[in-house]
Structure 1
Amino acid sequence: MADVRVETDGAITTIWLERPERRNAVDRAMAGELRAALAEFEADPARRVAVLAGAGGTFCAGFDLTAVGDPDRRPELDPGGGGSGPMGPTRMRLGKPLIAAIAGHAVAGGLELALLADLRVMERDAVLGVFCRRWGVPLIDGGTVRLPRIIGLSRALDLILTGRPVAADEALAIGLADRVVDTGRGVEAARRLAAQIASFPFECVLADRASTYAGLDLPLLEALRAEGAAGVPIVAREGVAGAARFAAGAGRHGGLPAEQAAAAAEPGPPAG
């Protein structure tokens, strides 16, 4: 039985971790399924935004530690740091937006999966944390790389060194969560957010997203040139038509154009 399930609704793909009896902890087979699901999403131009969620009221408890001693289920561990990462997709560089819908616990490798996403929608009673600190299992699925980039060095080291739990309100305050929603509403809110993003002229979305990530690794002037080189052609392909629609009256006074407002279905600002 597959441990990863994929739902596609137009431009929105929802990828479910479906091993609730193990709190969606990942073993080698499940890691491969998850990697394949994201690769298929990436390869299909009709699928614009993905939501990653966990079945059974929890996101993911990390790698399944009961599998570590089993040669058939233990994680992929390359001494040179290569391969795809024990959790499956964590060494991928995704080209399209991914949103994590976090319920219950997203801890250890589950937190690292959530860090792979561009945005994290967190339910009010959910918990994040580097819980693998307790068992001598290091962060080898991008945690030490992505966490400082998202919340800054000092806060990242606090979470990494202490392994303490982080509740939703703190996660929102430090930028680890982007939205906090009522318990049981995480997937719904993440899908609404995905629909809003997917409704925008999408070449522009992808170019700005790619430029944002690339700029983290480039000197300032080089990053500015790269932004311009990637963005200027899109002005002709999407921006001219968009400007004409605005000039004709669409989206005035800061509102979304009608079709984008309908797609978003009022996701609203982050809740405190």
Structure 2
Amino acid sequence: MRFLIKQMCLLSSTLRVRPIMARNYAKDAQKKNEEKKEEEVRKNIVVEKFDAIVTLNIDRQKTRNSLDIPTLNELALALDTFEKDNTAKVLVINGEGGSFCSGFDVDELVEKGYNPLKDASARLLRRPLCDKPTIAAVSGYAVAEGFELALACDLRIIEDTAVLGCLGRRFGLPQGMFGGRRLTSLIGLSRALELLMTGRLISGAEAHQYGLGSKLTTTGTALGESIKLAKSLVKFPQNALIMDKLAAVNSQLNPNSEESMRDEAVMTSLLGNAIEDIKEGAKKFQGGIGKHGKFYKLSEVPLKDWELEETVEEVQVSKQTKPDVDKKS
């Protein structure tokens, strides 16, 4: 009898434990699924931060970094995160594997149609793309919407072997991210119309000649040169830099009064901080930093005493006589 009671107690306790174990197992499985989904979402965009510089790397190398809906959603999230990060000052957009971006994913375009992709790219319609400075490191193919993404950035470092153009012309795809307006603003109406209407591809060298690139560089160096450019920007007081940038972009791209008012509000909000930066900059100048038009070492220690001297050194030049040459006998 005691043996039967003992067995019944063990069975009862087992039945109580199993549901708990089942629930824990279900939670673990759900957590693993969520982590797996997060990894799947994050795999197309790699974001890295180096002090105040952020690099956004498109990583869909098998399709030359084409943009499908998950990638566009992740791109929008990365741009918003950069904007909200007070420690991040300059964004560099790069394509992994030797190509910048080949535009919308054609397979998804066929499967889901143009409008879903267009809707997913709505974040890229902002003018400017970000209030903070943005740089495109253009290598390989920057075509169709990839060309528009490069145009949306403030500055472009272009490799001489890069290929740029409106390849969507072949399939009747319009410039969906203000590419026509941005291109016209950058290189003028005549050249812009020729590229827009014909879809002709141009090399990086020709793009630089047209005025699309801040710098022309050799194959494989666009990202490095872009980071060097970013480093030259982060040393400046950012409020005045952003104000001037927004004023320039607004004059070219935002004739709409509502958008103009937004940009004016942003610039006004930055003015107070800019005044403080001006005060600090004036003190640095008094200490010798940035004098004589120098753009380097703006955030380092003041110059040495001998560099601050404004006196002109007297240099004595003595006239040397030619040495005697032995006459030949």
Q: CA deviation at 1:11?
A: 0.6
- The answer to whether 1:244 aligns with 2:283 is yes
Aligned equivalent of 1:90, options 109, 124, 127: 124
- Taking only aligned residues, the RMSD between alpha carbons, in angstroms, comes to 2.6
**Aligned in 2, Cα 1:238/1:119: closer, same or farther, shift over 3 Å?**
same
SS in 2 for 1:51: strand
Q: TM-score, normalised by structure 2?
A: 0.70
Q: What is the aligned partner in structure 1 of residue 47 from structure 2?
A: 6
Query: Could you tell me how far apart the structure 1 residues matched to 2:132 and 2:54 are?
Result: 11
Query: Could you tell me how far apart the structure 1 residues matched to 2:104 and 2:120 are?
Result: 14
Q: What is the aligned partner in structure 1 of residue 21 from structure 2?
A: none
The residue identity in structure 1 corresponding to 2:45 is V
- The answer to whether 1:17 aligns with 2:53 is no
Query: Could you tell me how far apart the structure 2 residues matched to 1:165 and 1:179 are?
Result: 19
- The answer to whether 1:76 aligns with 2:116 is yes
Aligned equivalent of 1:63, options 89, 95, 104: 104
Structure 1: gaps of 5 or more residues:
263-272
Contact 2:166/2:196, CA 8 A, preserved across alignment: yes
The residue identity in structure 1 corresponding to 2:154 is D
**Aligned in 2, Cα 1:77/1:62: closer, same or farther, shift over 3 Å?**
closer
Contact 1:23/1:59, CA 8 A, preserved across alignment: yes
Which of 1 and 2 has greater Rg? 2
Q: What is the aligned partner in structure 1 of residue 137 from structure 2?
A: 101
Contact 1:84/1:91, CA 8 A, preserved across alignment: no
Contact 1:26/1:64, CA 8 A, preserved across alignment: yes
Contact 2:103/2:144, CA 8 A, preserved across alignment: yes
**Aligned in 2, Cα 1:256/1:44: closer, same or farther, shift over 3 Å?**
same
SS in 2 for 1:53: strand
Structure 2: gaps of 5 or more residues:
1-39, 302-329
The percent identity for this pair of structures is 34
Q: What is the aligned partner in structure 2 of residue 42 from structure 1?
A: 83
Query: Could you tell me how far apart the structure 2 residues matched to 1:131 and 1:177 are?
Result: 19
Q: CA deviation at 1:249?
A: 1.5
Contact 1:84/1:90, CA 8 A, preserved across alignment: no
1:63-212 alignment, distance < 5 Å? 63-71=104-112, 76=116, 83=119, 85=121, 89-93=123-127, 94-212=130-248
Higher helix fraction: Structure 1 or Structure 2? 2
